[in-house]
Chains A and B, each alone.
Chain A
Amino acid sequence: MKKIILILDLILFPSGSFSQEEKTSEIIGTIVEELADDESYPEAAEIYAEKLNDLIEKPVRINSADESELSRLFFLTDFQVKALADYIHTTGKIYSIYEIASIPGFDPDLARMVSPFLSLNSEPGSGSVSSRPGSVLLSSFSQRFLASDTSAPGPPWKLLTRYKFSVGRFSGGFTGEKDAGEFLLTGKPPLPDFFSASIAWTGKGILRKIIAGDFGARFGMGTGINTGLITGLSLTQPGYLSGGDEIKSYTSTDENIFFRGGAVQLQAGRTGLTFFSSINRIDATVDTIDNEKERFIETFQRSGLHNTISSVAGKDAVTEFCYGINASTGFREFRLGVLWTGSRFSHPAGQRDPGPEDIFDFTGAVNTTATAYYKSVFGRFLLYGEISSNQGKKFAFVQGLSFRPSDRLMMNVLYRDYEPGFKSFHGRGLFSSSAGDNIRGVFANFTFEAARYLFLSAGCDLRVNPWLKYRCSAPSLAVKRELRLKYLPSDMIAFEAVYTSGKSALNRQESSGVRKQEGFKTQSIKGIFKYFPSDNLILTTRLDYKTALPDGGIGMLVLQDICYRFAKIPVSVWFRYSIFKTDSWDSRLYAYENDLLNSFSIPALSGEGSRSYIMIAWKASKSIDFRIKFAITEMASESESEKNSKELKMQVKMMF
């Protein structure tokens, strides 16, 4: 049987075709675009890209990995992780990517997508712990040349430097970032505007992990604590990412969500215990009452940008003390956990003159959250749920079901209720709003292999905002639908069509007093044709059409990507040319761009014009990579010339 699979592998997957940098970039782009297919969270794409690049640097050694190690492949469903683990357990070592394609729940396209993140070597020891010392230094510079002056206090360029090392069971590193318009070095001692560092020790016994410095965490479904991935952005994905509870050295650049202190993870069998403590300074607008005797937090600043007078004044204005303890255990196919976490701020939060939409905003200086969650796989069902409550007796409730009636059909249903007033400062629950509360709804989707090479998936999310929200002065209802068709007739051609429609309520612009609402509707259709004529060339053509109501605006986009790797020199080139025309801001279009490593670019295209970029990657040696990208957005009309921009990005990555 294995011989047949190996022969098929040689026929269907030409040798070396999975190790190419440009294909890997293409795969990362596809995964990121599918998972983070939501314009309201542009930063989500960067988090996904970073996590996928981490996986490339440290691939999962599937032949020696246990289920928790396999779940590092976070974009797989629990069913797929379990099927992979069961296959290795019953059949033995996996010798080729084609074998993965033959596992129930996988297909050749998914196997191709997973391949860059896997290693078929089965070196002894835990898959995630490197036995060889190694360091990675990544430094990126970028600058946007805008037609209009932003008048920011600091220089207009952005600089990011990230260093990671691992020596045996120790790992660590630092991240320094200066956003555009910020000062490079601030404070005493002078450090980049954002600086984060940590050191971690990973063990195999009871003491599983210790982190000192900056770290992130995720427990259960994330309503209590989740500093990482935002879930529920794409309607045709399961809405629930696999993976267990984790603490992790912080390497992202979100400047306000991480913890600074220490964390310890203990594990005995399937029972785990994690506790952590953190004191961190966060950004907030602080106001005073009674002749500056009392100070209070008016708003928490989340952008991490310090390039205006008010944002500089709010930098590190508040100290947050945070703590938490998590316990989880499992027996057979059932896993459950509890989490207790709290935040205490140096100043109380409140508003001088709260409006009706602010009634449920957090007030006071202390917030504690208790969470209980479970997950169970039985047969073809996956059942998961979580309930959280804070001291104001406001609840967050999530209950989901995944069902795989056959290997060709997968269905998901999820109900969530984030009560107005529920607050968890480091939580990001499944399908929550950006504020974390005031949303209740049902989400359902399915993925179906309708015929050989033809995949159909569809999803619908119906949600209610029981209280007022930004730009909507009344309780409201919103619906979002998506239909995705994929046709993969061969390893060389991929065609995808996506239809999305959305409806929500917003305040009418002209209304005053008690504001009236009107329906805001968008519909879009997108066609993507990908072609791999040879091992070193990828061509992508894309067409977008979008309509928006009530303004009646129409948006259109035609895009052509060419990715070419030179045969004789270690250089790859990405080129894109796109032409767009949109009648209004509401009919704007987004097109994901390949970018520097660990980074993603999603420009919003509105007006009439063109957007193009060229990116060159040069692998100077085994340990040094360079990337340079130059992008231009140019408007057709002089009246829109303030939207013209040029962007230059450079990056060097060293591994030693």
Chain B
Amino acid sequence: MPAGNAGIGAVYRHFGYKDFMRHSAGLACGLKLSEKISAGIQTDFFAEKTAGDYNERRSLTFEAGMLITPSEKISIGIHLFNPVPNSLRKNYMPSSLRAGAGIWLNSSLFACAEAEMSTGDIIDLKAGFEYGPSENFRIRGGYRSENTSFSFGIGYLLKSAQLDLGFATHEMLGVTSSASIIFRLK
């Protein structure tokens, strides 16, 4: 939602059932710092409830990101989640750092790569592309080093609705498929 020079947003997620529930909510604010640099910050609240004698776990943290566009064709992104020291809270919460870049190799082909690492986890390298053979149609492909996962997807833009279909492989779980519809309100 535009708010002066900035943009604000809110997010709420729910997962689980009555014996195990996870909620998360966030308030975000983004700002264009200069012609080439945009930055955003989001406060996050996480809650996890488990049936029985287990305590309900709640955590408050924040995440921040920066998007840099040195030229029309190149964009560089950095994202940091939970840089808050765990000594300041009761429950341990991992942190993560992501950095990546994308480039329009020509008018219809976009390629990108990203490195991500979370505390206690190994580096996850990702690379992908999006190819647009026509104005409304997109083909996507990618690779992720974690679980040696390959992915493939297609997208179609239908007026204000965007339809996406994706498939991702997993070493143990096989193929996971997903579908989404995004409506853009003008």
Q: Is A113 an interface residue (CB 8 A)?
A: no
Q: Is B37 an interface residue (CB 8 A)?
A: yes
- Are B117 and A579 neighbours in the complex by a CB distance under 8 Å? yes
- Are A636 and B70 neighbours in the complex by a CB distance under 8 Å? no
Which of A159-167, A334-342, A604-612 is near enough to bind chain B? A604-612
- Are B36 and A581 neighbours in the complex by a CB distance under 8 Å? no
Which of B1-9, B95-103, B104-112, B130-138 is near enough to bind chain A? B95-103
Neighbouring B residues of A537 by C-beta, 8 Å:
37
A579-B96 contact in complex given A533-B36, A612-B83, C-beta closer than 8 Å: yes
Q: Shortest beta-carbon distance, B122 to chain A, in Å?
A: 6
Q: Is A5 an interface residue (CB 8 A)?
A: no
**Which A residues, 535 to 581, have Cβ-Cβ distances below 8 Å to chain B?**
537, 539, 541, 543, 545, 554, 556-560, 562, 577-579, 581
- Are A533 and B119 neighbours in the complex by a CB distance under 8 Å? no
Q: Is A534 an interface residue (CB 8 A)?
A: yes
Neighbouring A residues of B66 by C-beta, 8 Å:
539, 562
Q: Shortest beta-carbon distance, B149 to chain A, in Å?
A: 18
Neighbouring A residues of B122 by C-beta, 8 Å:
554, 556, 581
A556-B117 contact in complex given A533-B37, A534-B34, A541-B99, C-beta closer than 8 Å: yes
Neighbouring A residues of B37 by C-beta, 8 Å:
533-534, 537
The secondary-structure label for the interface of chain A is: strand
Q: Shortest beta-carbon distance, A494 to chain B, in Å?
A: 13
Write the chain A residue with the least CB distance to B119: A636
Q: Using a Cβ–Cβ cut-off of 8 Å, how many residues does chain A contribute to the interface with B?
A: 32
**Given the complex of chains A and B, what is the CA–CA distance between A533 and B74 in angstroms?**
12
Neighbouring B residues of A610 by C-beta, 8 Å:
95, 119
Q: Shortest beta-carbon distance, A630 to chain B, in Å?
A: 11
- Are A531 and B70 neighbours in the complex by a CB distance under 8 Å? yes
**Given the complex of chains A and B, what is the CA–CA distance between A644 and B85 in angstroms?**
11
- Are A560 and B123 neighbours in the complex by a CB distance under 8 Å? no
Write the chain B residue with the least CB distance to A544: B123
- Are B94 and A636 neighbours in the complex by a CB distance under 8 Å? yes
Neighbouring A residues of B34 by C-beta, 8 Å:
533-534
Q: Is A634 an interface residue (CB 8 A)?
A: yes
Write the chain B residue with the least CB distance to A579: B117
Neighbouring A residues of B160 by C-beta, 8 Å:
none
Q: Shortest beta-carbon distance, B45 to chain A, in Å?
A: 21
Write the chain B residue with the least CB distance to A580: B117
Q: Shortest beta-carbon distance, B44 to chain A, in Å?
A: 17
Neighbouring A residues of B76 by C-beta, 8 Å:
531, 539
A533-B68 contact in complex given A558-B99, A579-B118, A637-B120, C-beta closer than 8 Å: yes
**Which A residues, 515 to 529, have Cβ-Cβ distances below 8 Å to chain B?**
529
**Given the complex of chains A and B, what is the CA–CA distance between A531 and B95 in angstroms?**
24
- Are A577 and B83 neighbours in the complex by a CB distance under 8 Å? yes
Q: Shortest beta-carbon distance, A508 to chain B, in Å?
A: 29
Q: Shortest beta-carbon distance, A563 to chain B, in Å?
A: 13
Q: Is A492 an interface residue (CB 8 A)?
A: yes
Neighbouring B residues of A608 by C-beta, 8 Å:
119-120
Write the chain A residue with the least CB distance to B123: A556
Q: Shortest beta-carbon distance, B39 to chain A, in Å?
A: 10
Q: Is B147 an interface residue (CB 8 A)?
A: no
Neighbouring B residues of A541 by C-beta, 8 Å:
78, 99, 115
Among candidates A539, A579, A636, residue contacting B68 with C-beta atoms closer than 8 Å: A539
Among candidates A533, A554, A577, A644, residue contacting B97 with C-beta atoms closer than 8 Å: A577
- Are A632 and B85 neighbours in the complex by a CB distance under 8 Å? yes
Write the chain A residue with the least CB distance to B79: A560
Among candidates B78, B117, B123, residue contacting A539 with C-beta atoms closer than 8 Å: B78
- Are A543 and B115 neighbours in the complex by a CB distance under 8 Å? yes
Write the chain A residue with the least CB distance to B35: A534
A560-B117 contact in complex given A533-B37, A533-B70, A534-B34, C-beta closer than 8 Å: no
- Are B97 and A560 neighbours in the complex by a CB distance under 8 Å? yes
**Given the complex of chains A and B, what is the CA–CA distance between A492 and B96 in angstroms?**
27
Q: Shortest beta-carbon distance, B171 to chain A, in Å?
A: 18
Neighbouring B residues of A554 by C-beta, 8 Å:
122
Neighbouring B residues of A612 by C-beta, 8 Å:
83
Neighbouring B residues of A581 by C-beta, 8 Å:
117, 119-122
Neighbouring A residues of B94 by C-beta, 8 Å:
636
A644-B87 contact in complex given A531-B68, A539-B68, A560-B97, C-beta closer than 8 Å: yes
**Given the complex of chains A and B, what is the CA–CA distance between A541 and B66 in angstroms?**
13
**Which A residues, 595 to 645, have Cβ-Cβ distances below 8 Å to chain B?**
608-610, 612, 632, 634, 636-638, 644
**Given the complex of chains A and B, what is the CA–CA distance between A644 and B70 in angstroms?**
38
Neighbouring B residues of A636 by C-beta, 8 Å:
92, 94, 119-120
Neighbouring A residues of B118 by C-beta, 8 Å:
579
Neighbouring A residues of B85 by C-beta, 8 Å:
632, 634
Q: Shortest beta-carbon distance, B25 to chain A, in Å?
A: 24
- Are A578 and B97 neighbours in the complex by a CB distance under 8 Å? yes
Residue contacts A-B, CB under 8 angstroms, 9 given: A493-B70, A537-B37, A556-B117, A560-B80, A577-B80, A581-B121, A636-B119, A636-B120, A644-B87
18 additional A-B pairs beyond A541-B99, A541-B115, beta carbons within 8 Å, are: A493-B70, A539-B68, A539-B76, A543-B123, A545-B123, A557-B117, A558-B117, A559-B97, A560-B78, A578-B97, A579-B95, A579-B117, A581-B120, A608-B119, A610-B95, A637-B120, A638-B92, A644-B87
